Amino acid sequence: MTMTGIKTTGDQPAVGVFALQGDVAEHERVLTALGARVSKVRSGSDLEGLDGLIIPGGESSVMDKLSRLLGLAPAIQSAVADGLPVYGTCAGMIMLADRIANPITGQQSLGGLDITVRRNAFGSQVESFETSLGVDEVSDKLVHAVFIRAPAVTQSGPEVQVLTRVETGEPVAVRQGNLLATSFHPEVTGDWSFHRYFLERIVAARG
Number of domains in the chain: 1
Question: Contact 181/90 with Cβ under 8 angstroms?
Answer: no
pLDDT band at 11 (very low <50, low <70, confident <90, very high): confident
CATH number of the domain to which 100 belongs = 3.40.50.880
d(CA 203, CA 102): 36
Whether 170 is catalytic: no
- What is the average pLDDT across 109-136? 93
Catalytic residue among 26, 27, 28, 90: 90
Whether 185 is catalytic: yes
- On the question of pLDDT at 90 being above 70, the answer is yes
Catalytic residue among 27, 28, 187, 195: 187
Q: What pLDDT was estimated at residue 152? A: 95
Write the single-letter amino acid at 126.
V
d(CA 64, CA 13): 26
Boundaries of domain holding 99: 2-206
Give the residue from 166, 170, 134 showing the smallest Cα distance to 152.
Answer: 170
